[in-house]
Chain A
Amino acid sequence: MPEASEAEIMEHQHQAQATTATSRELPMARSMCWHCQSEVTGEYLCGQCVKVQPLSRDLDYFACFQLPRLLNIDEQYLEKTFYELSRTFHPDFYSTKDESEKAISLGNSAFLNAAYRTLKDPIQRAEYLIRLEAGAVKDIRSNPPADLFEEVLELQETLETFRQLAPKGPSSDLEALRKKLQAEREHLEKRQAEMETSLQHKFNEWDQLQERAALSGQAREEKNTILREMQEILSNRTYVRNMVNDLLETMG
């Protein structure tokens, strides 16, 4: 496993301050080409020497895809843009270039892939947006769902009993337990689906608010409320999802 000296070069370039982006193009790490020092204003490739430019460290995933911070995303647009940007940045197209260009292409590609992966999945997309809008997730930590915790503990006890009984072969106790767990599973899966529906409602609320805010200025309080509500749904969903997974794993 060699050291990636190329990555160090890139880190170095990332030290420079980000420039302001035009609406059409991505912000690059510097306002001057790292190679020929000519002015670059958001082009991926330098207009003078055609060398690839490193993406700005301040670039967020939404901006990377030139998307506003909305939660409903046109998946076809996302894929199309991902493919286009991949054709610009992928290391395959820099294999005969010098080490610095290779390193920049590698860094830009890794960032692009992370951005696509995150935005493609609605849950990851929402979690990312919350982090972006509110700083650390903990800052808007939601109320602990005490009833859900009780449910987790209770289910785990039942699962424990089931795991102890199962190796002893079929019995009426085991069968009853299996039925109970089966019912629990259906109930939890239904709940998970409901959570996803309410999350979708929050997506719509957020998007509408963002559009209103763009016209009327700040709506910080309202935004925080939606973010907090979304965070709560996401957290609760995690507990429910874990329970479903444990159930599936134990019961096969």
Chain B
Amino acid sequence: MSRIVGIDLGTTNSLVAFMDKEGPHVIPGPDGQTKVPSIVGLTDNGLIVGDPAKAHLIRDPSHTIYSVKRFMGKGLDDVKDELKYFPYHLHEKNGVIRIEIGDKTYSPPQVSAMILKELKRRAEDYLKEDVSKAVITVPAYFNDSQRQATKDAGLIAGLEVLRIINEPTAASLAYGLQKKTQGLIAIYDLGGGTFDISILKLKDGIFEVLATNGDSHLGGDDFDQRLVDVMVDDMFQTQGIKVEGNPELMQTVRLEAERVKIRLSDETQAQAVIQLPNGTYEKLWTRESVESLVMDLVERTLGPCRNALKDAGLTASQIDEVVLVGGSTRMPLVWRKVEELFGKTPHSELNPDEVVALGAAVQADILGGHTKDLLLLDVTPLSLGIETMGGVMSALIRRNTTIPTSAKEMFTTYVDGQTSVDIHILQGERELVKDNRSLARFQLKLPPLPAGVPRVEVNFLIDANGILHVTARDIRTGEAQSVQVKPSHGLTDDEVEGMIRDSFQFAAEDIKARQIIEARNEANAIIVATEKALVRAANLISDKEAEGIRRILQQLGEVKAGDDHRVIRTKISEVEKTTHHLAEVLMDATLKEALESKKLSDVIK
């Protein structure tokens, strides 16, 4: 059976990990880095993912997608307040956001799939085997639509998603395994775009989640934005520069804000420096100034912590250990606030960037049947219900119920001959339908009988992924009834299938982009090496020959900027042919030197 990998699909960075006999490991890329920036760039030659795309972000922001996780499982209405911060156009189709890049549109799961594919490739290169199965993490506070969108992303990337697992619970697995912890622990997980708090009981290898809470729209991105707002305003006030309407500059400011924020975790002050077309903009930031700027955002995380404790029936002092997860918990301010709330020093021995991916790898190993002594019992973060008259939601499954779980409802008719009942499924904690999340609608078919006679039992089942399944059964006949559920903010099965087909086409484009990068790298290496050789062989070849070589090198330099890798390759082989004699001469010279030195050494001996 092929290996199952664990993937942390983050707002800012993504990682892939696997588990062997020694334990879980994060897989590094060729450069040794474990983090892949969750950024996708669409160039004329196909797409680029990760660090190259991050560089692309400043050059060509309108063709570069970042923080796509914020759009997963959402409609346009959900993100309307932050649209102005994104350099690309969005529209909505069938309740799903579509991102417009050039003349193409992509759904968020498609973009996430591009990141997943990069991780898949990274794992395959490292493990030297096919990788087709994965466990993918999501914020614990993700609703059904967001989870389903993540699962769709996996499918589009050619991965069978064996489990969607909550990020804080994944972190607890990695942490508990390493520390052999028992007792009550709180996982405080503040990432790039989301915040989660989970309270768990660890006992004899069972990881039982008692309660979870959070904010699926609060993270490091929001901190950066505060700094950006100040600097954008400042640049206009002091130098009359309008950053809005200049996407390239806006992205430069954003990346600089992020850099300053990160620096201030270790230092008490940091200088922001932004290159402008005519001059530079500089601003000295102190840790205090940033802390006062984001104080309210950090404090917004404390409410969910208190709610989670309340739902778990615990007080802060009963918690044995508090564990910090997510890059944003590196901020000393976050530390202090968490310490204040729980009255104990939080743990962060495990790399907060990697612990979620490591936990996903542990869960993958459990699902693969290798780890048998650990078991995770998670909960559903939000109450599930149906719409009742008057726009009121009536709950069927309460939040923080251990999953899998199911609720049955009996439906009948009130009018003779009525043949259907419309059912609207919701998720959330508010009383009114409009304040909750619409998940899906379906029409229950009923046999045309006198009022009250039909009896159809609908079963709402939340599986171990936190994803809802609906089935119906006619009580009179005992027959199962098919239910066609239409998601409110999700791709249909047909759409997902279409996207899987498209992704093969993208794959061809990816290969093209890759081939160009490789050909360019090779051309660069040849130019450098040949130039060095020309210097060394200055007295060994004729000026005419040297001139000819310089000319073709220049041609290669011009060709490599183009976007046809075949042209570059052709030119490379021309260079190789032209330099054949040069190589021979140099080789002879080297050989002679070697032989001479040998003789010399013989003599010495």
Q: Do A and B bind each other?
A: yes
Query: What's the least CB distance linking A174 to chain B, in Å?
Result: 26
Size band of the B side of the interface?
35 or more
Query: What's the least CB distance linking A16 to chain B, in Å?
Result: 12
- Which of A2-10, A65-73, A162-170 binds B? A2-10
Contacts of A3 in B (CB 8 A): 469-471, 482-485
**How many chain-A residues does the 8 Å CB contact rule pick out?**
27
Q: Check A113 for interface membership: any CB of B closer than 8 A.
A: yes
Which residue on B lies nearest to A87, using beta carbons?
A: B375
**B404 A92 Cβ-Cβ under 8 A:** no
Query: When chains A and B are docked, how far (Å) is the Cα of A129 from the Cα of B254?
Result: 60
Considering only residues 186-231 of chain B, those with a C-beta below 8 Å from chain A are: 203-204, 206
**B473 A11 Cβ-Cβ under 8 A:** yes
Considering only residues 1-26 of chain A, those with a C-beta below 8 Å from chain B are: 1-4, 7-8, 11-12, 15
Q: Check A29 for interface membership: any CB of B closer than 8 A.
A: no
Dominant secondary structure of chain A at its interface with chain B = helix
Contacts of B467 in A (CB 8 A): 1
Q: Which of A1, A83, A87, A95 contacts B490 (CB 8 A)?
A: A1
Query: Knowing A11-B473, A113-B405 touch, does A92 contact B478 (C-beta < 8 A)?
Result: no
Query: What's the least CB distance linking B578 to chain A, in Å?
Result: 58
Contacts of B440 in A (CB 8 A): 1
Which residue on A lies nearest to B465, using beta carbons?
A: A91
Q: Check B297 for interface membership: any CB of A closer than 8 A.
A: no
Which residue on A lies nearest to B376, using beta carbons?
A: A92
Contacts of A110 in B (CB 8 A): 404-406, 461
Contacts of A181 in B (CB 8 A): none
Query: Knowing A1-B485, A96-B369 touch, does A90 contact B402 (C-beta < 8 A)?
Result: no
Q: Which of B163, B204, B402, B469 contacts A4 (CB 8 A)?
A: B469
Q: Check A192 for interface membership: any CB of B closer than 8 A.
A: no
**A4 B461 Cβ-Cβ under 8 A:** yes
**B461 A1 Cβ-Cβ under 8 A:** no
> Using an 8 Å CB-CB cutoff, how does the interface string of B405-448 with A read, 1 for contact, 0 for none?
11000000000000000000000000000000001100000000
Query: When chains A and B are docked, how far (Å) is the Cα of A106 from the Cα of B369?
Result: 17
Considering only residues 64-99 of chain A, those with a C-beta below 8 Å from chain B are: 79, 83, 86-87, 90-93, 95-96
Q: Check A206 for interface membership: any CB of B closer than 8 A.
A: no
Q: Check B162 for interface membership: any CB of A closer than 8 A.
A: yes
Considering only residues 201-246 of chain A, those with a C-beta below 8 Å from chain B are: none
Contacts of B366 in A (CB 8 A): 92
Q: Check B403 for interface membership: any CB of A closer than 8 A.
A: yes
Which residue on A lies nearest to B208, using beta carbons?
A: A83
**B469 A117 Cβ-Cβ under 8 A:** no
Chain B interface residues toward A at CB < 8 A: 1, 144, 148, 162-163, 203-204, 206, 363, 366-369, 372, 375-377, 401-406, 439-440, 459, 461, 463-464, 467-471, 473, 478, 480, 482-485, 487, 490, 493
Having A83-B203, A106-B461, A114-B405, one finds 6 other A-B pairs with CB under 8 Å, namely A1-B485, A3-B484, A7-B469, A90-B464, A96-B367, A110-B405
